[in-house]
């Protein structure tokens, strides 16, 4: 079985009828499609409201672009001094060596930039990006993203890690990936070994939105990373119809922690074109954060964040527990007077 890259592939796999495929033809002309053989098997026979199906199978709703939606919703281009580098915060940069992914999520904030034939760095461009990091002594952390960096070969991953490890002021390299839950067999011992080097600490942030993604195979991939001493973080997007209720988030965050992944960010969906049907109200997200406070331990509590449109960075979006009258609300909703 091969990766599905088109509507005809999805129809052939039994995941769409020909009529449903025709209804999304204009969507797939603009936004990339990819499902790995692993996910094709997982989704066999799944209904259209399945939480994994919704994340990966194109929908006619994507054809609508809301007035507030932006082709570059978090301002990558605004803060890109060199091709492949985004320098938004003083002490860290994004390094984007490629714009291809193992799968293409229907809510992706970089959906206008990623896909087959997406811009990848040439060896010379990668050298220039690394030179930028060397020249900026305030850069303490490099976040390798894209695209999905785990699509690179172990040799190329090792080359990036070794080059960063040789820069004295870079202490941490962090990889952002969907591969452990989208194609877990790709997380081989060779790939894991390539992520580590003397002189630098490696972290991996894994994108997972539903506990159903954390299968035995995915758990094995996460275990190979954790057993190698690589700290794991979880990134989740709050998605209407996928995980926008407290029991679903509770199950996800508990499962992540059980597999040694610390929930890190719960992202409010960005203003990417064609994604308005995924975005819940901010107030609903804040209510969920409050509900989780009383349901799960601190280990299972990510930070709810909103990426400010235009490239102004992330802002915590959690509700306040301290009222203007000096009362403090506990996890049951009961308010208490606090006298400092």
Q: Which residues are marked as active site?
A: 88-89, 92, 101, 105, 108, 110, 270, 307, 314
Using alpha carbons, select from 340, 318, 314 the residue that is nearest to residue 75: 314
Using alpha carbons, select from 223, 215, 144, 234 the residue that is nearest to residue 189: 223
Residues whose CB is less than 8 angstroms from the CB of residue 298 and which lie 6 or more positions away in sequence, other chains included: none
What is the full DSSP assignment across 159-219?
HHHHHHHTSTT--EEEEEESHHHH-GGG--HHHHHHT-BTTBEEEEEEE--SGGG--HHHH
The answer to whether 94 touches 278, Cβ cutoff 8 Å, is no
The answer to whether 128 touches 82, Cβ cutoff 8 Å, is yes
Distance CA 148, CA 205 (A): 11
CA distances from 216 to 187, 213, 219, 313, 335 (A): 14, 9, 5, 35, 43
Distance CA 142, CA 144 (A): 6
Distance CA 270, CA 74 (A): 7
Instruction: Indicate the helix (H) or strand (E) that contains 250.
Output: helix 246-258
The answer to whether 24 touches 60, Cβ cutoff 8 Å, is yes
Enter the tokens of residue 279. Answer: 């975005």
Distance CA 240, CA 237 (A): 10
């Amino acid at each position: 079985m091969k990766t599905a890259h088109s509507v005809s592939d999805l129809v052939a796999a039994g995941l769409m009828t020909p009529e449903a495929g025709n209804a999304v033809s204009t969507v797939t002309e603009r936004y990339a499609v990819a499902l790995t053989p692993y996910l094709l098997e997982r989704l066999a026979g799944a209904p259209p409201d399945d939480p994994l199906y919704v994340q990966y199978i194109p929908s006619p709703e994507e054809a609508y672009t809301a007035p507030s939606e932006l082709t570059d919703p978090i301002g990558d281009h605004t803060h890109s001094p060199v091709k492949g580098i985004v320098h938004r915060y003083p002490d860290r940069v994004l390094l984007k060596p490629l714009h291809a992914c193992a799968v293409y999520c229907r809510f992706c904030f970089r959906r206008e930039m990623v896909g087959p034939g997406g811009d990848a760095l040439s060896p010379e461009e990668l050298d220039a990006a690394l030179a930028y990091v060397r020249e900026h002594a305030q850069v303490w952390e490099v976040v390798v993203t894209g695209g999905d960096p785990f699509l690179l070969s172990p040799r190329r991953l090792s080359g990036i890690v070794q080059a960063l490890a040789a820069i004295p002021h870079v202490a941490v390299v962090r990889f952002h990936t969907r591969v452990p839950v989208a194609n877990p067999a790709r997380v081989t011992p060779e790939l894991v070994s390539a992520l580590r080097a003397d002189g630098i600490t490696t972290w991996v942030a894994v994108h997972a939105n539903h506990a159903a993604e954390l299968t035995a195979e995915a758990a094995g991939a996460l275990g190979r990373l954790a057993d190698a001493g690589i700290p794991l973080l979880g990134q989740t997007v709050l998605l209407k119809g996928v995980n926008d209720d407290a029991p679903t988030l509770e199950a996800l965050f508990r499962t992540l922690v059980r597999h040694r992944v610390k929930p890190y960010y719960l992202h409010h969906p960005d203003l990417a074109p064609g994604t308005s049907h995924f975005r819940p109200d901010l107030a609903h997200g804040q209510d969920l954060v409050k509900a989780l406070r009383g349901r799960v331990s601190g280990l299972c509590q990510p930070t709810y964040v909103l990426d400010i449109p235009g490239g102004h960075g992330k802002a915590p979006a959690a509700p306040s527990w301290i009222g203007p009258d000096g009362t403090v609300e506990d996890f049951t909703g009961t308010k208490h007077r606090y006298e400092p």
